Amino acid sequence: MSYLINGKRFEIIDTIEKIPSRDSFTDEENKIGKSTGAWEWHIGSKRDAAKYAFFGGLGFDALCFIKKDDLIWLMEELQPEYQDPSQNYRGKLDFLRVYKNRMDQINSLASFSFFHFREHDQRDSLDNRLYAKRPGSKADGDDIYSILRDVALPNLTFTSILKLQSSDGQIMYYFKVFPNFSSYDWGNNFSIAQESAILSSITISTTEKDQLIKARVGQGKFRMGISKECKICPITRVDDTRLLVASHIKPWSLSSNFERLDPKNGVLFTPTIDKLFDSGFISFTDHKELIVSPWISQNTTKKLNLLNGTRYTHFPIKGREKYIEYHRHNIFKS
């Protein structure tokens, strides 16, 4: 996968999958602890040679960017948290206003916003913790770096980074903040509310209610329908039904009642593959070819033996084209 940035094509050469959002780095209104908070960002250890080299090593000064669309998506995913905070944020009582202000700021951005990511050069030389510092001026992206502090919610978000390189050797870094959960996860509040609506409905029969609720966790009529034509996990080829998960292609929470029970909206996967698919880290083409998200590192995909473009002949694409297309465009993390 490549990216066109200011008319120049960049290819992915490395990935850092997950830097947790710490209370020390987030904006004042997001804090849940006693830390005063600084603009210093603790991103790892200098003993981690690979991570240090990722940014360029000693005294790194990396040119980076964030995308407006990514930030809008993130805030929409986090909207329930702003409406009903699960943590004791300092700005908790005014979080709806905070949400609106942040969305207004994000909507005013250009499609790509650039900033410098620099190693902190004023820390104790004996301190092996690796810190980045604020750019220092608006021209260097101080205002953009600030947005990363604004959207980072401790415990609930993390940042992943792609290292990109152009054909002429220019290096650039793509930062993206993710929630630790998905709005379509079967265990979230949105899905629970939908389940309650089904149970209280007077237009849905008791039998259908039972099947719809079972389908939410991949059981009942939904699983049996898939099992009639899908006997194995198409990637691992495991056929022990005790180890297979009936996974919705279009998430249960985003589906109509028909789609929730439609066996064509499901595939049997082993748990690890199910998690990758449900989280949008893998998807498939209509020709049964695997698509691997750039937001999962090459180290991880190598361990899992997942190769972009591999054709899995056992993937049951027939009749599932519209659901797979939905997954590619709406769930897959490109």
pLDDT digits (tens, 9 = 90+) for 130-150: 889 999 999 999 999 999 999
Q: Please, which residues have CB within 8 angstroms of residue 257's CB and are 6 or more apart in sequence?
A: 198, 204, 208, 212
pLDDT range class, residue 198, cuts 50, 70, 90: confident
Q: So what's the pLDDT on residue 186?
A: 45
pLDDT at 189: 56
Q: Would residue 184 count as lying in a domain?
A: no
Q: Is residue 16 part of a domain?
A: yes
What tens digit of pLDDT does each residue of 264-280 get? Answer: 999 999 999 999 999 89
Query: 57 and 199: one domain?
Result: no
pLDDT above 70: residue 118: yes
The answer on 169 and 194 residing in a single domain is no
Domain holding 218, by residue range, is 189-330
32 plus 161 within the same structural domain: yes
* pLDDT tens sequence across 31-63: 998 877 678 898 888 889 989 899 999 899 999
Looking at the predicted structure, is the pLDDT value of residue 250 above 70?
Answer: yes
> Which band of pLDDT confidence, cut at 50, 70 and 90, is reported for residue 160?
very high
Give me the chain's average pLDDT, please: 90
Does 154 lie in the same domain as 82? Answer: yes
How far apart CA 68 and CA 12 sit, in angstroms, is 20
Are 227 and 143 members of one domain? no
pTM as predicted: 0.81
123-133 tens-digit pLDDT:
787 888 888 99
**In this structure, is residue 199 part of a structural domain?**
yes
Residues 105 and 133 in one domain: yes
- What one-letter code names the amino acid at 72? I
The residues, ordered by sequence, that sit 6+ positions from 102 with a Cβ below 8 Å of its Cβ are 75, 150, 151
Q: Residue 184 pLDDT > 60, yes or no? A: no
**Widest Cα–Cα separation across the chain:** 69
Residue among 180, 173, 175, 147 at smallest CA distance from 160: 175
**pLDDT at 225 > cutoff 70:** yes
The total domain count for the chain is 2
Report the sign of the C-alpha dihedral through residues 208, 214, 216, 221, in that order.
Answer: negative
Last residue of a domain, one of 179, 202, 226: 179
Examine the domain organization and report whether 16 and 38 are in the same domain: yes
Question: Quick one: 263 and 153 in the same domain?
Answer: no
Structure tokens at 136: 């220092």
Looking at the fold, whether 32 and 162 belong to one and the same domain comes out as yes
Average pLDDT over residues 276-293: 95
Please report whether residue 108 resides in a domain: yes
pLDDT for 62-114, tens place per residue?
Answer: 999 999 999 999 999 898 889 989 899 999 999 999 999 999 999 999 999 99
Same domain membership, residue 210 and residue 281: yes
Among the candidates 139, 160, 179, a domain finishes at 179
